């Protein structure tokens, strides 16, 4: 369980993380999603006790990350973004060292067990410098799993892996999510959609949306923007679509026309479809804009004044 309440981190006057609140539940993978520099790593560093928050608080496994840092550290497994390892040690030696600092009693058995879990047991005695990027990532993950932590915090674990390794790692994270609290950061939206039970979207240090991937999608489908593609050239189609009473604004984008509805609670699609037919064009595509997380993300991180329009329901908390 991770509970974050009004957490803020400032570097000087610059807020890296600004007043964020969210909860990650046990038995779930919570995706922490945002572009590079959104504040994901800073948040994770605060949750692992590496860095103290400027204000606000966070409870990890029931302990305050600032007041009871050592208790938190005993219960958290952390894989930092760049997977720092001692390159001159063997995979096994590294895990034994980490286990000794953590005071794990039967650390040799435990080290083999986690190496087995990340499918690296055959390279246990290889020096880390000789391992591939994907293998090093798995050594880092093994380190995070070594002490059976309640909470796993993985900072962009799939970055720099080849496609096959990415698939394996996602599979592993999903399995781990069944009996741990997993907080998993990524800037790849499709990844969050595949791996996570719930998603927190962070942008410029603030949370712009949170919920399950399907909740977020349905939220945005209602009253969100609509994408339409016809065989007519955009210059002809735009003014005609703009004339419709149900349309607040029509603009070109994504190889078609993006339409902002005049009334967020009414679906403009029937009117658009009629207009296309009446004008004698062929309708090729007509759908809500936000059908995948990429587009949900585009919707949520639009300029603040327009993003506010895409905020129809309370369960997706939009702070932008």
Partner 1 sequence: MSAIFAVFKRELALYFRSPIAYAVAFAMLLFLGILFNGNLAQSVAFNVSVAQQGGGGVTASDLNLAPALITFLMFLIGPLLTMRLLAEESREGTIEVLMTLPMNEAQFIIGKFLAVWSYYTVLLLLTVVYHLILTLVGVPDAGVAFGAYLGAWLYGGAVLAVCMVWSAVTEDQIVAAFLSAATVLVLYLAEVAAVSLTSSPTLANAAGFVRELGLQAHFGATLANGIIRAEDIAYFVLMMIGALFITTRIVETRRWRA
Using CB under 8 A as the criterion, which residues of the chain lie in contact with partner 1 when the complex forms? 45, 48-52, 70, 73-74, 76, 78, 80, 82, 84-88, 97-98, 100-103, 143
At its nearest, how many Å lie between partner 1 and the CB of residue 154?
13
By beta-carbon proximity to partner 1, the closer residue of 106 and 265 is 106
Instruction: Tell me how many degrees the CA angle 218-222-224 measures, rounded to the nearest 5.
Output: 105
Look at the chain and count its residues. Answer: 320
Closer to partner 1 at the Cβ: 74 or 174? 74
Q: What's the closest the beta carbon of residue 46 comes to partner 1, in angstroms?
A: 10
Q: Residue 95 CB: number of other CB atoms within 10 A?
A: 27
Q: What is the smallest separation between the CB atom of 103 and partner 1, expressed in angstroms?
A: 5
Indicate the residue among 89 and 298 with the shorter CB distance to partner 1.
89
Q: Which residue has the tokens 């993006």?
A: 258
Return the structure tokens found at 154. Answer: 């993985």
Q: Report, in Å, the least distance between residue 101 CB and partner 1.
A: 5
Nearest to 42 by CA among 69, 65, 15, 77: 15
CB of residue 11 vs partner 1: minimum separation in angstroms?
A: 8
Distance separating alpha carbons of residues 93 and 105, to the nearest angstrom: 15
Query: Cβ closer to partner 1: 29 or 104?
Result: 104
Tell how far CA 314 is from the center of its chain: 20
Nearer CB in complex with partner 1: 48/206 = 48
Report the residue number, 49 or 211, with the smaller CB distance to partner 1. Answer: 49
Place of tokens 């927190």: 200
Supply the minimum distance, in Å, between the C-beta of residue 153 and partner 1.
9
Identify the DSSP state of 122.
G
Angle between helices 91-102 and 107-117 (to 10 degrees): 130
**What is the distance between the alpha carbons of residues 3 and 11, in angstroms, rounded to a whole number?**
23
């Amino acid at each position: 369980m991770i509970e974050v309440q009004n957490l803020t981190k400032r570097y000087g006057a610059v807020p890296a993380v600004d007043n964020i609140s969210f909860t990650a539940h046990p038995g779930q993978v919570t995706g922490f999603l945002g572009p590079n520099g959104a504040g994901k790593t800073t948040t994770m560093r605060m949750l692992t006790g590496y860095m103290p928050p400027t204000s606000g608080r966070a409870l990890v496994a029931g302990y305050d990350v600032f007041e009871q840092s050592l208790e938190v550290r005993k219960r958290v497994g952390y894989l930092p973004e760049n997977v720092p390892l001692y390159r001159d040690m063997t995979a096994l030696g590294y895990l034994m060292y980490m286990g000794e600092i953590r005071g794990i009693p039967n650390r040799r058995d435990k080290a083999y067990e986690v190496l087995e879990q990340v499918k690296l047991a055959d390279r246990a005695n290889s020096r880390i410098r000789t391992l591939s990027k994907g293998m090093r990532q798995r050594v880092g993950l093994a380190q995070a799993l070594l002490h059976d932590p309640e909470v796993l915090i993985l900072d962009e674990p799939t970055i720099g892996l080849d496609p096959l390794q990415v698939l394996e790692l996602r599979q592993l994270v999903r399995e781990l999510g069944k009996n741990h609290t997993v907080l998993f950061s990524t800037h790849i939206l499709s990844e969050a959609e595949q791996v996570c039970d719930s998603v927190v979207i962070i942008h410029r240090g603030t949370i712009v949306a949170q919920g399950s991937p399907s909740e977020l999608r349905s939220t945005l489908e209602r009253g969100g923007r609509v994408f339409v593609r016809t065989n007519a050239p955009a210059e002809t189609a735009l003014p005609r679509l703009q004339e419709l009473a149900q349309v607040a604004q029509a603009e070109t984008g994504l190889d078609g026309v993006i339409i902002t509805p005049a009334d967020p609670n009414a679906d403009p699609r029937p009117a658009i479809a009629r207009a296309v037919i009446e004008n004698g064009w062929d309708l090729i595509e007509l759908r809500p804009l936000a059908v995948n997380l990429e587009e949900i993300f585009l919707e949520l991180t639009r300029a603040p004044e327009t993003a506010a329009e895409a905020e129809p329901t309370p369960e997706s908390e939009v702070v932008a």
